[in-house]
Amino acid sequence: MNTTTTKYDFEALLHARGVQLPPSSIDTLQINITKLCNQACRHCHVDSSPARTEKMSREGVEKCLEILAAHAGIKNIDVTGGAPELHPDFDYLVERATALGKHVMVRHNLTVQLDPHPQTGESKEYLPEFFARHRCEVISSLPYYQEYFTDAQRGDGVFQKSIEAMRRLNAVGYGIEGSGLIFNLVYNPVGPYLPAAQATLEADYKRELQQKFGLTFNGLFTITNMPINRFKLHLMKSEQYESYMEKLLAAFNPAAAAGVMCRNIISVDHDGYIYDCDFNQMLGMHIDDAGRPASIFDFDFDRLLRRRIRFDSHCLGCTAGAGSSCGGATS
């Protein structure tokens, strides 16, 4: 165990504060179906880019659908990536999952509607109509309501393309009151600092996007940057890793810890292995299942519900301040 790990020992912190975090349910199956993305964001914990080739097999997709069909308690499927829409079986997965009566959430980066597929050149302009037809919940990253921060994090030109993509989602009813089509945005800081209060930022986003672009959306999720992979590398290079970890540690909030997402989701990688969350997935921290990595090909709901969630120093990112999860603040 290295010094940094010892210094930021999350389990020891939980123990010292008397906080216990066992799984509470498995209501969401989060599937990372591909690492391929049309963007290469500077903070991306998946290290996604147009050069990545990892993707779930058709066999894996079928297995996920089988698990969803067999477990009524798993009500939600959260499809992520990369840009999940670039997976050849994305449409199939969504169609089948909705046919099973599941609530389908898609982590949609907006620009994928407008950029050609990095490998095939295929257009994805049909996505707003497709999402609406299957009543998917669309969840999209927009780091800020202004161009400067957005392009700094996600690449030049991303803000303007995102605005156009949002217009197209609004045009089919997403984020429009009374349509029932849910369109949520995700804010995350563009550097090593904590998000502002979710409600305050949501009000800012709603006002600014409406006034400047005539755009609407449902809710804003604030997410803290996790000190892993590409973002961690940036922190190390800019000599800010220690100060960021100290900030997360100082902001530890037991109330936020109680609501962490690993307590009610499981995360599946493109090979079918199962993890406590997408971050553990990216760190290769498999769930142990009787001495083997847990997998969708040997799925046991009850054993997973009894598992011990694996924690490490990056978990401080989910418990700092108001907390952070794929659904935003946790307290």
Residues forming contacts to other proteins in the complex (CB under 8 A) are 144, 146, 148-149, 189, 191, 193-197, 200-201, 204
Closest CA to 224 of 122, 120, 330, 110: 330
Q: If you ran DSSP here, which 8-state letter would residue 145 be given? A: S
Please identify, using beta-carbon distances, which residue of 177 and 239 lies nearer to other proteins.
239
**From the DSSP assignment, how many helices (H) and strands (E) are in the chain?**
14, 10
Give the up-direction half-sphere exposure of residue 173: CA atoms within 13 A in the CB hemisphere: 14
| Kind of pairing between the strands at 274-275 and 265-268 | antiparallel
Distances (CA, A) of 35 to 50, 99, 166, 178, 322: 9, 26, 23, 35, 29
For residue 281, the one-letter residue type is Q
Smallest distance from other proteins to CB 201, Å: 5
Decide whether 113 or 222 has the Cβ nearer to other proteins. 222
CB of 82 to other proteins, least distance (A): 28
For other proteins, the closer CB: 56 or 322: 322
Distance CA 253, CA 248 (A): 10
Task: Provide the minimum distance between the beta carbon of 31 and other proteins in the complex, in angstroms, as a whole number.
Answer: 32
Handedness of CA 129, 130, 136, 142 (dihedral sign): negative
**288 closest CA partner among 105, 280, 137:** 280
CB of 278 to other proteins, least distance (A): 24
When the beta carbons of 61 and 201 are compared against other proteins, the nearer one is: 201
Q: How far is the CB of 220 from other proteins (least distance, A)?
A: 11
Q: 126 vs 148, which CB is nearer to other proteins?
A: 148
Q: Which residue's CB is nearer to other proteins, number 173 or number 191?
A: 191
Sign of the torsion formed by the C-alpha atoms of 77, 271, 226 and 23 = positive
Our CB check for other proteins shows the closer of 25 and 243 to be 243
CB of 274 vs other proteins, minimal distance in Å:
35
- The closest of 110, 103, 138, 140 to 124, measured between CA atoms, is 110
To other proteins, the closest distance from the beta carbon of 193 in angstroms equals: 5
Of 237 and 302, which CB lies nearer to other proteins in the complex structure? 237
Alpha helices in the chain (DSSP H): 3-7, 10-17, 58-70, 90-99, 127-133, 147-154, 158-171, 198-213, 229-237, 241-250, 254-258, 278-282, 301-305, 316-319
Closest CB 5 distance from other proteins, rounded Å: 21
